[in-house]
Amino acid sequence: MTGQICRILRTDNKLTGIQRLVLDVLKLHHPSTIELANKLSVLDGIAGVNLSLYEVDQQTENIKITIEGDDLDYEAIRHVIEKVGASVHSVDEIASGKRLVEEVETLQDR
């Protein structure tokens, strides 16, 4: 995230107002994606969790985690992910504000 975005979202060293996060995560085969989704879904403010498996090798899985809710706590989400032995490679999308704004395709995207 750029410094300007962090300043807008950060209040008292906590990212606030987040409604959607899309995370690129590397995890071991255990726990399963089902277990991880269940652990994330019980966190405060989370309305829904979607985990998509997009790459598997002998020891690890790359997954995309999409989380939506009200005032998502990124640090709490990251803590759950790390507690199961996984790591966040990148924050691929973040949405904040009064409503979700969907990405619009431009000529450069074609």
Instruction: Show the beta-strand stretches assigned E in the chain.
Output: 10-11, 14-15, 18-28, 46-56, 60-69, 87-96
- In-domain check, residue 83: yes
Global pTM value = 0.79
Distance (Å, rounded) from C-alpha 16 to C-alpha 36?
Answer: 23
20-29 mean pLDDT:
96
- In-domain check, residue 3: no
- In-domain check, residue 17: no
First CA to last CA across the chain, in angstroms?
25
pLDDT in tens, 40-56: 999 999 999 999 999 99
- In-domain check, residue 21: no
**Burial of 12 (C-beta count, 10 Å sphere; 0-12/13-18/19+):** exposed
- In-domain check, residue 34: yes
- In-domain check, residue 104: no
Q: What is the domain-level CATH number for residue 36? A: 3.30.70.1340
Whole domain around residue 34: which residue ranges?
27-98
